[in-house]
Amino acid sequence: MEQRQLGDGLTVSAIGLGCMGMSQAYGPSDSTRDDHIALIRSAVDQGVTLFDTAEVYGPYVNEELVGEALAPVRDQVVIATKFGFDIKPEGQQNGLDSRPEHIREVVEDSLRRLGTDRIDLYYQHRVDPDVPIEDVAGAVKELIVEGKVLHFGLSEAGAATIRRAHAVQPVAALQSEYSLWWRRPEEEVLDTLAELGIGLVPFSPLGRGFLTGAITADTVFAEDDFRNDMPRFAAEARAANQAVVDLLVTIAAQKDATPAQIALAWLLAQQPWIAPIPGTRRPERLAENLGAADIDLTEDDLAAIEDASAKITVLGARYPEYMEKLTDL
């Protein structure tokens, strides 16, 4: 697979694998833990080198899963994980916590769960308004000096925060939601990343499954599926937002591809320093997603997508209000 240069000397596969859904968020799965380990190892065999997890996924169990799956190929891959939440012993999130002393504590726990001596890319999961970003960057800089972390990342951070952090410790990558139905990073963040030489790792590049075309206004989610709480996934919003999927279906038919592949290919075509991390629990979806790297969207294709998408108004907030407050964008 094509390799892409993010920032601070970090090279990754053009498409990575987001592992969160193997442990939470999308309801029950027929897949077992062994199936997930096999899926992650299959991704490696197919050229994926970037794997994304976080302490809060599960919590904790996703890091353990990723660490075990990648142990045989540890030196061939980039493991990205995240800090920044206060997680109680019972597993509940209790707000944000990016105090330097907390970072130093939780990095040891993540290293242990991942079964490794270094974290390749260590993201602040969400910007903590109670802790100056300079203090956060300084704490990670110390971990880099000690060899426990190789590269520093931010997630859902705005342009001003990125600049302040980067002045203390070079930021290799920003992880933020970015797709054809969530384009806010284009307002200011993408120009900042280009100026500073920072890569972008889009999460939810397939709109949490919506851009695949598999979800309709009639879809019923499992009771514990977090999309039930997202305004953008209300039935009326799904019906209105079908226009985005219809656009992808049209382009996909012309390219002998799937809507998901066009959505990912569109992201890859935006900048050479963008590496999306679609997640899946199914081997066939993994192969489909990775196939997007072989799709060539011409300038005419991109112009047609841009023209058509500009006429579509996406309905519904992406998060409930309490979650949206966590973003710095």
Helical H segments across the chain, by residue range? 33-45, 61-70, 100-114, 133-146, 159-168, 189-196, 235-255, 259-270, 283-290, 299-309, 321-324
Cα 23-104-168 angle, rounded to 5 deg? 105
The whole-angstrom separation of Cα 248 and Cα 312 is: 12
Q: How many C-beta atoms surround the C-beta of residue 66 within 10 A? A: 30
Report CA-CA distances (Å) from 22 to 54, 134, 137, 191.
Answer: 12, 33, 30, 33
Alpha-carbon Rg of the chain, whole angstroms?
19
Number of residues that this document lists for the chain: 329
DSSP 77: S
Q: Active-site residue among 26, 57, 123, 178?
A: 57
The whole-angstrom separation of Cα 228 and Cα 210 is: 13
For 178, the token pair is 């970015």
CA atoms within 13 A on the CB side of 121: 30
For 57, the token pair is 């996924």
Instruction: Please indicate whether residue 57 is annotated as part of the active site.
Output: yes
Q: Residue 145, class by beta-carbon neighbours within 10 Å (0-12 exposed, 13-18 middle, 19+ buried)?
A: exposed
Residues identified as active-site: 57
